[in-house]
Structure 1
Amino acid sequence: MKNTNNSRRDFLKSAALAGGGFMLSFNWFGKEVFAHEVATTAAADFAPNAYLSIHPDGIVSIFSPNPEIGQGIKTAFPIIVAEELDVDWANVKVIQAPLDTKKFERQVAGGSGSIPHSWQRLRKAGATARQMLVEAAAKKWNVSASECKTEKGYVIHTTSNKRLGYGELATDAAQITPPTDVKLKDLKDFKLIGSTIKNVDNKPILTGQPLFGIDFYREGMLFSMIQRPPAFGLKLKSFDASAAKAMPGIVDVVSFKNKVAVVGKSTWEVKKAKDALKIEWEKDGNLESTNDHNKLFKELLDSPKAEVRRKEGDIEEAFKNAAKIVESEYQCPFLPHNPMEPMNFFAHVREDGVELVGPTQTPANAQGQTAKLLNIAPEKVTVELTRMGGGFGRRLGTDYVLEAVEVSNLVKAPVKVIWTREDDMTGGSYRPAVRYRFRAALDKQGNMIGYSLRGVGINAGNSTRENNFPSGAVPNLLIDSVDHKSPITTGPWRAPITNFLAYAEQSFIDEVATAAGKDAVQFRLDLLEKAKTSPTGPVRYDIARMKAVIELAAEKSGWNKKRKGVHLGFSVYFSHASYVAQVAEVVMKKGKPVLQKIYAAVDCGVVINQSGARNQVVGGIVDGMGHAMYGNLTFNEGKPNQSNFNTFRLIKMNEIPAIDVHFVDNGIDPTGLGEPALPPTGGSIANAIFKATGKRLKNQPFIEQEEKLLDGIS
């Protein structure tokens, strides 16, 4: 098998032909904008800034500089530019821009920050070009620019109704000095923003075009797979590569930084050779097991060395005088990121510079770390971005990029490093395992007068978000944390920390509301009112925005309408500057709870693309539900027990409930959306299950905590 690099499209064609019968061809896409490879702007193009160019034939190329990780940024960025440019979307060509730290700022996919950071910049880019086109047309007609308007790629003289296409004006507009101050559209005049637009990569993805890093191929490049320590706390002692080197297609076997890399002519050949390596490892630190962590949690929850994150009032006095005290602990496991596309990257280290190509959420960091590794100037490192088959924070790191650089540098050839699924799941980095202890003090009227939270994490850093709700709404409050340093590597995992903290906090608030004899929704609204009228310390969340999503979710779910046999669970959370409230709907069937629907109310400011926004909310909910219910990564003496999907449980298609999404239309500038829908999901489900069964789920994954109870959830 010498040619192992057929495209996915060729594979699909071959599979169809091998199956016999016939193929019916039809066009799903109609008149749609498609992504194209990076192209060089022609000399005659009008290119007023780094974000767009207009060709004399009227085609508008809009560059999308940020990495596309599945969050829809490659579609959303151009929509914003095209809106202010006032161009016909059918004439737009979207181009993925490479890393360019001089032309662009924050070429990063992470923290749900791309749109908030670039919203005004993108609008100004489009509006600047539009104004220059208007001035060029006005000069041609010898009229005032104030007499002209734009519409779908044309400048129109309002009095004579003369019109000129943007392409016709491109050359003249290029001679205009770019204005420093431009007028942006009023929100009411938006035509593209807020509508439903198909993802620009839909057709390339469905037809198997090589968009992803895993697809990238360069004639003459080599492939590499790497053997890393099989357990956290081990290091390389020695290795015998004689058998591997003798195998077909193998070019070299090299070692670096505790790793052994096999380099060859195809992925299959290097994988077989990697399996033939004889490696001896030795201990280099603690070999920790999940049982060790469980013992640590119990010890550290009582540790006197916790770091205080926020303290208000007199917490000791509040609990001393409480009419009722509620106390609970919640725990979550480590989780791998498991993107559909495993880690991979291409590197070519040459004497005159380094070429990098692949899927990274932080291309500037990849450039900088490569330059540091090789002791060269960052300007000598180029980074071309491919689309990513998921990342969820895993591709914020550069370890897999630097592996490709190391191997290329050692073998003096262009190399593509590819991880297997087992490499991906066992090689880190993970969501940290955390345990929380909550305590609440209630007065005789059921008001929460004291609240304490301690977070204990394994390589979690600060496992709390001390300024999030209900901070500011409780007169006496203490939030602190303890962190255990472990050889097990951790890192950002979609909605870092809040992905589990939200579930724990919202479940506990439900516990407190139940103990106080109050409605769960009203209990939260009452707390918000206290934060508004008599805040204790700084309030770092927007009370009005949080209240709005709570009320919208309650309305859409029929929270106050009694329906026989229907049990509702509520949750609300603020993260990445956005607010999401959810209501889970559970019914009992054959004695078991069945999750049949989730209602979501979302405030992320202006919605750029209805299609992309809904996909992000639904995807976040499915992700949050799946991992809360099924995900679990455990360790035995530093070695992960789960290494592939046969032992790591993911959510299945038939387990996904109906999801009803509603957006708050408040006209504010966009805030984050890639992550905020995930955190509230676990809490809404757990609270609904409690309503249905009377059993409170306090550990994740739910399925292992209450196997018999939850077995029927679908």
Structure 2
Amino acid sequence: MTTLTKASRRDFLKIAGSSVGGLVIGFSWFSCDSPKMEVLSTEEILSQAKSFNSYLSISPSGDVVIYSPNPELGQNIKTSFPMVVAEELDADWEKVRVLQANLDTEKYDRQLTGGSGAMPHSWERLRKAGATAKFVLVAAAAKAWNVNASEITVEKGIISHKGSGKSGHFGEFVAEAATMTAPEEVTLKDKKDFKIIGTSVKNVDSKEMYTGKPMYGLDFYREGMLHAMIQRAPFGMKIKAVDDSAARGVSGVKDVVTFGTSVAVVGESTWPLLKAKKLLRIDYEPDGAVESTADHDRIFADLMLNGKPDVKRKDGNFDAAFKGAAQVVTAEYQCPFIAHSPMEPENFFAHVKGDKVELIGPTQTPDRARQATAQLLGIPLENITVEITRLGGGFGRRLRADYVEEAVEVSRAMNAPVKVTWSREDELTGGAYRPAVRYRFEAGLDASGNMIAYKLRGVGMNAGNCTRENNFPSGAVANVLIESIEHKSSITTNAWRAPITNFLAYAEQSFLDEVALAAGKDPVQFRLDLLQQAKTSPVGGELGYDVDRMIGVVKAAAEKSNWGKDPNVKQGFSVYYSHRSYVAQVADIAMEGGTPVLKKVTAVTDCGMVVNPIGANHQVRGGIVDGMGHAMYGNLTFENGVPKQKNFDSYRLIRMKEVPEIDTHFLDTGFDPTGLGEPALPPTGGAIANAIFSATGRRLRSQPFIEQKEFSDIKLEIRRA
């Protein structure tokens, strides 16, 4: 089935590059919240097309060049976006080249990476870009050959007319195409006719990464720039006095700069700065609450009992149903602060030149970097340029602009170009972490084991709303009460891969297993019964999830994992909806010589149409490894506002040998693509914890697992098949 989509003349712009004869097609998408695509054949065309918002450019040689505006941090958007455009264009993928665009809010809208939102926001608009370009190219060929455009076909960048035997590549028609009138509507392909979308396409940066080409912020170098490393105050503290005499005496150090709660050592390279920073003698004094992990346990307990909650959802009468329940299940789950720990620590280059600033580096939110700089210096936004490098990971840490502001501060003070580089110790101790959260669940069952009441109260440290009140099992239970309480902590927090749901999913799914056990029901069937209730007789208001899609992944995961069919395998189940996608997982544990061995994790994902199977598979596998690693090992503890874990010798990450077999499956439910960078992480902790309980009878209610007394004498091993 073809789809007609509006493409008004006002939104469709064309320009022929006089210097090279290329074609640039622009779409004005100010009315949408989508990231934009820019496709350009040369920098010359780019310089002539500054007034447009997004472009598809074809050179006279027939080459297609796409400038990808979204920061690339491993989510594969730099490959998948061009695939969508090239599909509707019927381009030859071998002749498509992709480059990273710089920040340009005149051309692009929502030029950021976060929330797994890029593809679902841009899907139709990217298709429209390719389809409209194809339309005018075909029209140009039809005019040149004096034939009907409906008789023309396009395949791999070649335009052909079977009747006359004429054909030519895209580049032969770009000049004429630039004079064509934009269509009011363009026809999009039937999905069954896709030739690029749905095929495995390697990462467009693969060769550069394999050969060590400079792509990342840490690679950036400019002749004459200075380097800076920074000592930051403990959380809740401010600077009282600084003795920098020893640091200044280190060869290679040019200056020491103090600003805010930070002290920067500046020099010609990072090696002497590492030494000099250790020689700083800084006295601090309290500036608010100076917290330790012991304080957090006390705060959680007090707020859970006495805090004034913000009621997020209230269906029916929980209190009355709870009092009349035949059986009651109650449990608390807690997670610690954890770091983002990207492979590439924070870094950024800034050159403050009077009232103008040049910024270069890895950021998930380039416009936030620009906005923060403008506010800091009191200069117009248009005086600031931002060049985006590839990011060596981010996971939400690079949504912030604190490290960008540091580079700007030091550049201003030194009146010189400066690159700030964080060490691994800086990244772990000066970060903005996943919030620590505690959840208390209460469930009431009737005499038949049906859940008739469900309550969740969450207390989070700078977490905002630490619940997802419209997610499952809301809508499936007659009496629901969901509450959230926030504690304002001096420890900075930030979105961490799959914000809130990264732990909430584990807690909810583990608790649902506890309830299923109390009800005497199979955990998978217990969930399916609840989902059937939400489908046939939904309770309350808005539901954030599609019941049928969740049922689909639950059933598929049970089937693919042979749920309950092998008596020698103990299994744990988990399913979650986040970022518009659905993922169900089953963890398999076998007892070998009295030792529980995690053998495999089976994952079934419904993320709509899969654009690139290689990229999708990597995202799901990466999410599972990340989710497992942090559930098992990740923990930051604080003493007087300072994390005790300062590097990977004490901050435990998952190791390659600890990754079990991962079996991935995708459901094609006919929906347009939805998020995939984050949804596979939330269900993982619950699946593994539930499998551990099935194998050992030990219920893990806190993370990391290895630090819980229930886990202390469990010798869990992980082995690949």
TM-score (structure 2 length as normaliser): 0.92
- Matched to 1:712, the amino acid is E
CA shift, 1:41, in A, is 4.1
Compared CA separation, residues 711 and 558, structure 1 to 2 (3 A): closer
The residue that corresponds to 1:482 in the other structure is 485
- Matched to 1:104, the amino acid is Y
Report if the CA contact (8 A) 2:458-2:484 is conserved: yes
1:86 corresponds to 2:90: yes
Alignment of 1:665-680 (within 5 A): 665-680=668-683
- Matched to 2:442, the amino acid is R
The residue that corresponds to 2:712 in the other structure is 707
The residue that corresponds to 1:383 in the other structure is 386
1:498 corresponds to 2:512: no
TM-score (structure 1 length as normaliser): 0.93
1:540 corresponds to 2:508: no
- Matched to 1:232, the amino acid is F
The residue that corresponds to 2:517 in the other structure is 514
1:240 corresponds to 2:246: no
SS in 2 for 1:370: helix
Alignment of 1:269-288 (within 5 A): 269-288=272-291
Report if the CA contact (8 A) 1:346-1:404 is conserved: yes
Deviations 1:413-449 (A, max 9, x none): 1110000000000002001111111111000110000
Report if the CA contact (8 A) 1:51-1:64 is conserved: no
SS in 1 for 2:187: coil
1:225 corresponds to 2:229: yes
Deviations 1:391-417 (A, max 9, x none): 000000000011111111111111100
Which of 54, 74, 78 is 1:74 aligned to? Answer: 78
- Matched to 2:516, the amino acid is A
Compared CA separation, residues 435 and 474, structure 1 to 2 (3 A): same
Report if the CA contact (8 A) 1:289-1:634 is conserved: yes
Deviations 1:283-306 (A, max 9, x none): 212221111111221111112511
The residue that corresponds to 1:184 in the other structure is 188
Report if the CA contact (8 A) 1:464-1:501 is conserved: yes
Q: State the distance in 1 between where 2:184 and 2:343 align.
A: 44
Which of 137, 140, 144 is 1:140 aligned to? Answer: 144
Compared CA separation, residues 285 and 573, structure 1 to 2 (3 A): same
Identity rate of aligned residues, in percent? 62
Report if the CA contact (8 A) 1:394-1:492 is conserved: yes
Report if the CA contact (8 A) 1:499-1:679 is conserved: yes
Q: State the distance in 1 between where 2:518 and 2:416 align.
A: 67
The residue that corresponds to 1:368 in the other structure is 371
Report if the CA contact (8 A) 2:40-2:67 is conserved: no
1:60 corresponds to 2:60: no
The residue that corresponds to 1:436 in the other structure is 439
SS in 2 for 1:632: coil
Moved more, 572-581 or 168-177: 168-177
The residue that corresponds to 1:111 in the other structure is 115
The residue that corresponds to 2:17 in the other structure is none
CA shift, 1:340, in A, is 0.4
Moved more, 70-79 or 175-184: 175-184
1:215 corresponds to 2:205: no
Compared CA separation, residues 45 and 288, structure 1 to 2 (3 A): closer
Q: State the distance in 2 between where 1:158 and 1:522 align.
A: 58
Alignment of 1:596-635 (within 5 A): 596-635=599-638
Compared CA separation, residues 37 and 404, structure 1 to 2 (3 A): farther
Which of 253, 256, 260 is 1:253 aligned to? Answer: 256
- Matched to 2:654, the amino acid is I
Which of 568, 572, 577 is 2:571 aligned to? Answer: 568
CA shift, 1:639, in A, is 1.2
Deviations 1:604-626 (A, max 9, x none): 11111000000000000000000
CA shift, 1:45, in A, is 11
Report if the CA contact (8 A) 2:40-2:64 is conserved: no
Deviations 1:37-85 (A, max 9, x none): 9950449999997232111112110121100011001101111111111
Deviations 1:618-639 (A, max 9, x none): 0000000000001111011211
Compared CA separation, residues 406 and 481, structure 1 to 2 (3 A): same
Q: State the distance in 2 between where 1:660 and 1:160 align.
A: 51
Compared CA separation, residues 142 and 45, structure 1 to 2 (3 A): farther
The residue that corresponds to 2:22 in the other structure is none
SS in 2 for 1:342: coil
SS in 2 for 1:457: strand
- Matched to 2:423, the amino acid is T
The residue that corresponds to 2:334 in the other structure is 331
Compared CA separation, residues 423 and 63, structure 1 to 2 (3 A): same
Compared CA separation, residues 215 and 37, structure 1 to 2 (3 A): farther
Which of 564, 589, 592 is 2:592 aligned to? Answer: 589
Q: State the distance in 2 between where 1:460 and 1:668 align.
A: 32
Alignment of 1:457-472 (within 5 A): 457-472=460-475
Compared CA separation, residues 99 and 513, structure 1 to 2 (3 A): same
Report if the CA contact (8 A) 1:45-1:55 is conserved: no
- Matched to 1:586, the amino acid is I
Deviations 1:489-531 (A, max 9, x none): 1110000010000000000001111110111111111111111
CA shift, 1:146, in A, is 1.3
CA shift, 1:177, in A, is 3.1
The residue that corresponds to 1:346 in the other structure is 349
The residue that corresponds to 2:197 in the other structure is 193
- Matched to 1:91, the amino acid is K
Report if the CA contact (8 A) 2:197-2:611 is conserved: yes
Q: State the distance in 2 between where 1:631 and 1:590 align.
A: 28
Report if the CA contact (8 A) 2:41-2:65 is conserved: no
Compared CA separation, residues 76 and 673, structure 1 to 2 (3 A): same
CA shift, 1:359, in A, is 0.4
Q: State the distance in 2 between where 1:38 and 1:710 align.
A: 58
Deviations 1:155-210 (A, max 9, x none): 11132231110111222222223334211111011111011000011111111100
Compared CA separation, residues 112 and 713, structure 1 to 2 (3 A): same
- Matched to 1:70, the amino acid is G
Q: State the distance in 2 between where 1:289 and 1:36 align.
A: 51
CA shift, 1:104, in A, is 1.3
How many residues align? The count is 678
SS in 1 for 2:43: coil
- Matched to 2:269, the amino acid is S
Deviations 1:672-696 (A, max 9, x none): 1000000000000011111111111
Q: Which runs of 5+ in 2 are unaligned?
A: 1-37
SS in 1 for 2:717: coil
RMSD: 1.8
Report if the CA contact (8 A) 1:155-1:165 is conserved: yes
1:395 corresponds to 2:398: yes
